[in-house]
Amino acid sequence: MTLFETVVIAIIEGVTEFLPISSTGHMIIASSLMNIAADPFTKLFEIAVQLGAILSVLVLYWKKFFPLNKISFYIKLVVAVIPALVLGFVFSKKIDALLESPLTVSITMLAGGFILLFIDKLFQQPAVDKEENISLAKAFTIGIWQCLAMIPGTSRSAASIIGGMQQKLTRSLAAEFSFFLAIPTMAAATGYKLLKAWKETPELLKDKQNLLMLGIGNIVAFVVAMLAIKFFIGFLQKHGFRLFGWYRVIVGAVLLTLVLTGYLK
């Protein structure tokens, strides 16, 4: 990967990771358009760059994420991440195969877009507006919803936020819990991917150029993700999900056209 390609993908990760529009889907399309999607390091980078985005959540929400006197908060996150850990381990090879499919991304972008167009009307009477009121059962259910994001283009953020709203959380609380849940989920996925790369293709992590690109990518993703999170929370409280739904529908339709015409493979 060149420096330009690194920065482009890192910006895409930072902007899209916490928005309900699929960071993985956007990175797959970007790497395909730049003809680097098949490169083993690109595949590793698209996972490892999530570390920068994770750090942005810890910095922005450190007071809420480190309530050391509230062990129940961490228990909820552990319970919520269990479904993703189990299914991710069992279906890791199939998930890796899907990560190379622009067709899958275009279809799930469209489907998720139509859902977001109507989600605000589907869940109009939230009853849970504080983290303390999220039960273990609700946390686990949200974790199950998050597993939908294993299909590229679905969006981990969208899946977990929809899951939260289905469990009667307010939009803002569902978004915040989604951010918190991203930390153990993405940390586990990144750690697993790096460990796997170290065992199977150690040369990727021994290459100084690759390590430099990983460092630059994570710094860029960290800065951009902080800005994206601040924007998203404010926008969500005022306007809901409809704009994101239209965005996904338009992008999904364009991508599907490019795939069907053979321009994007």
pLDDT digits 0-9 by tens, 218-265: 999 999 999 999 888 888 878 888 999 999 999 999 989 988 888 876
| Token digits of residue 21 | 């529009």
Average pLDDT over residues 9-33: 90
Query: Cβ distance 41 to 2 under 8 Å?
Result: no
Residue-wise pLDDT for 110-143, tens only, equals 999 999 998 888 887 888 989 899 999 999 999 9
Examine the pLDDT at 208 and tell me if it is beyond 90. yes
pLDDT of residue 96: 67
| Token digits of residue 71 | 């062990």
pLDDT of residue 98: 66
pLDDT of residue 68: 66
Distance CA 258, CA 111 (A): 17
Distance CA 206, CA 86 (A): 30
Average pLDDT over residues 58-64: 88
Which of 150, 165, 158, 140 lies closest to 77, judged by CA? 140
Residue-wise pLDDT for 62-87, tens only, equals 888 886 677 889 999 999 999 999 98
**Stated pTM of the model:** 0.86
Distance CA 142, CA 185 (A): 12
Higher pLDDT: 173 or 98? It is: 173
Sorting pLDDT into bands at 50, 70 and 90, what band is 37? confident
User: How many CB atoms are closer than 10 A to CB 12?
Assistant: 24
User: How many CB atoms are closer than 10 A to CB 224?
Assistant: 22
pLDDT, averaged across the chain: 89
